[in-house]
Structure 1
Amino acid sequence: MRKAFKYRLYPIKPQAKDLERALELCRQLYNAAPQERREAYKKAGKTVGFYEQKRSLPEVRAALPEYKRLHSQVLQDVLHRADRAFQGFFRRLKGRKGKAGFPRFKGKGRYDSFTFPQAYATGVKLQEGGKRVFLFGIGSVKLKLHRPLAGKIKTATIKREEKEWYIVFVCEAEPKPFPPSEEAVGIDLGTNPYFLVASNGEKIEAPRYYQRTQKKLAEKQKELSRKRRGSHRYLKAREGLAKFHRKVARQRRDFHHKVARSLVNRYGTIVHEDLNVLGLARSRAAKGVLDAGWAQFLSILAYKAEGHRVSGKVLAGRRVVGVDPKHTSQDCPVCGHREKRPLWVREFTCPACGTLLHRDVAAAQNVLARAWAGPSGKGVAGAIP
């Protein structure tokens, strides 16, 4: 299996300028690839493919000496990205009648990463026990290896996030099996006060990272609006606002990873509502839904639960099931009686069987019950294969 490890880079000023220069050269090459294809087809009706453009790289490096400071495989990967964009365009063109989205040119500052496809063969080497990393054309850059690498390094991607630099290693590692578990759980996602309520009664409070920092974000947005667009102070204020938003997004993603890992470690089957998150994001509850990040959490949960694939087979993977969310909070999980209740009612007594229930726990139990294929509880519809 392949696993990605992301680490922070701390380049000195000359190295940061070299990294910016490398990104700019990659951006220009990326833009030249679709331009060449478009002109060749327009003027001569000829289709230029990836391999034709790849074979022309030595001529590009001979005509433009600045490209000699970039590894040839980095340049090939840039052309491969452009080729993938065209492949996606033609695939969408076949599948729909409207606009398929022709590959766009990357504007200045809009190309944020470049990749060494074969890390150790293309001049990427760890130094000083992981305290530094040598990059071809850049030099030895300080690295914060906050967790050890696992497996053999295959690729290395240099990534820019605002003014911060990162390196992402993709490693070939041995899969680690999950602890065995036959337990199943249903989860009901919410926004306030609980992010998640499980069918066994477990409740996880919603951190609400965005709403808690909304006042500070509004102040920073006001500071930005007072600055003259394009001025030094405007750029500095914009950078501070982006940094604040980035922190909130990282906090939310870290929370999602930890909750998903906790569920995957304990349960063999995890059942959730198959929610229309995009539709909910356009409703009155949009702020809470987007702050909770349900789509990101479910994506992380499915990724972690699937486990490891070797030769197309899942090794010790969990099962994640999405079920119809209709009436899950209105049905009694004991007798099935349905009664519509306002959202402010959090606990209720079923008028049919007299059971005292918590609204979210009852919903999670209904979610779990809808996943059973039979009364024995074996076999779950919609499970990951």
Structure 2
Amino acid sequence: MGWFDTVEWPKDRDGCRWNSTADGGQVRVYLQGVGHVRVHAHRKVEGVVKTVSVKREGRRWFVVLSCDEVPALNLAETGGVLGIDMGVTSFLTTSDGVHLPNPRHGRRNADRLAAAQRDLARKQRGSNRRRKARERVAGLHGKVRRQRLDHAHKTALWLVRHHDVIAHEGLRIGNMTQSASGTVEAPGTNVAQKSGLNRSVLDAGWGVFLNVLASKAESAGRVVVAVNPANTSRTCPSCGHCAKGNRVTQAGFVCVACGFAGHGDVVGATNVLRAGLALLRA
């Protein structure tokens, strides 16, 4: 017991049956060896159910469905195009000057998680108290994960509803969050600062958001394009001059060639949009 957190049935009606007794408005799933289990469905299931998975997160149980023949929900064209610049101070900044705050779900729950982990470390292995402490730690991790996912879905839905074309930076998050500690022979520099930046990047959940955005855009008939992020925050949107000195601060941008001034993240988002539109025209 407790060895596996996920069980998957590769085919509906082969050991499992989705919505097997949907009488009286109650949605249920039948699992072989368990029976009928009531499910709190958060939305109507579209398409044909192909696989059914049961997943455990702490004391919570989830049913995950994969479906074929899901109807596309194409939205009406808006004529809007947008570039977005991802960051840790602002979760994202748009080319039209909107700054979306970074919710920092991990940082907000860090104290509670640290306390729960300390409590877990003091418990005797194999005891019921250790099992309950482990469940509390898993529950907190699950809460942060669900908060990030909820924020990603709401943000992506807002973007998709109001824009036909969305351009973003093609970020390699795995490379960006590599450790700077180095080796014994060649130790790294600014390790503490890089470690803090890595935590902030991972806490922002850029990868989760971009995956959700791509999925929602495909379902709604929108276009999402990823562009090379190199020099997008150093290039002047007015004259095209690119220089490291253009970015005077994290938020400040002043072109050393023509004097154009603006917010650095808005400049980056504007250049991302231009690069995205150029790719679509090519």
Same fold (TM over 0.5): yes
CA gap of 1:132–1:296, structure 2 versus 1, over 3 A, is: closer
Which one of the candidate residues 315, 323, 329 is aligned to 2:233? Answer: 329
Q: CA deviation at 1:320?
A: 1.5
Aligned: 1:348 with 2:253? yes
CA gap of 1:226–1:170, structure 2 versus 1, over 3 A, is: same
Q: CA deviation at 1:204?
A: 0.5
For residues 94 and 48 of structure 2, what CA distance do their matches in structure 1 show?
38
For residues 282 and 121 of structure 1, what CA distance do their matches in structure 2 show?
43
For residues 123 and 324 of structure 1, what CA distance do their matches in structure 2 show?
45
Write out per-residue CA displacement over residues 264-297 of structure 1, whole angstroms, 9 at most, x where no aligned residue: 1211211111112111112511011100111111
- Within 5 A, what are the aligned runs for 1:240-255? 240-255=136-151
What residue number does 1:369 align with?
274
Q: How many pairs are equivalent?
A: 262
For residues 281 and 174 of structure 2, what CA distance do their matches in structure 1 show?
26
Write out per-residue CA displacement over residues 86-124 of structure 1, whole angstroms, 9 at most, x where no aligned residue: xxxxxxxxxxxxxxxxxxxxxx71362132613499554
Quick check: 241-250 or 352-361, which moved more?
Answer: 352-361
The one-letter code matched in structure 2 to 1:324 is N
For residues 330 and 155 of structure 1, what CA distance do their matches in structure 2 show?
47
Quick check: 173-182 or 325-334, which moved more?
Answer: 173-182
Percent identical pairs in the alignment equals 39
- Within 5 A, what are the aligned runs for 1:114-133? 114-115=8-9, 117-119=11-13, 123-124=17-18, 125-133=20-28
Contact map agreement 2:58 2:142 (CA 8 A) in 1: no
Aligned: 1:197 with 2:105? no
Displaced runs of 4+ in structure 1, greater than 6 A? none
What residue number does 2:75 align with?
178
Name structure 1 gaps, 5 residues minimum: 1-19, 21-107, 308-315
For residues 179 and 301 of structure 1, what CA distance do their matches in structure 2 show?
17
**Structure 2 length normalisation: TM-score?**
0.83
- Within 5 A, what are the aligned runs for 1:53-72? none
Q: Which of the pair has the greater relative contact order for Cα pairs under 8 Å at 6+ separation? A: 2
Q: CA deviation at 1:360?
A: 0.2
**Structure 1 length normalisation: TM-score?**
0.62
The one-letter code matched in structure 2 to 1:129 is G
- Within 5 A, what are the aligned runs for 1:270-281? 270-281=166-177
Write out per-residue CA displacement over residues 30-73 of structure 1, whole angstroms, 9 at most, x where no aligned residue: xxxxxxxxxxxxxxxxxxxxxxxxxxxxxxxxxxxxxxxxxxxx
The one-letter code matched in structure 2 to 1:291 is D
Rg bigger for which structure? Answer: 1
For residues 174 and 269 of structure 1, what CA distance do their matches in structure 2 show?
21
Contact map agreement 1:305 1:318 (CA 8 A) in 2: yes
Which one of the candidate residues 287, 292, 305 is aligned to 2:199? Answer: 287
Which one of the candidate residues 252, 260, 265 is aligned to 1:360? Answer: 265
More helix per residue: 1
- Partner of 1:210, secondary structure, is helix
For residues 174 and 252 of structure 1, what CA distance do their matches in structure 2 show?
27
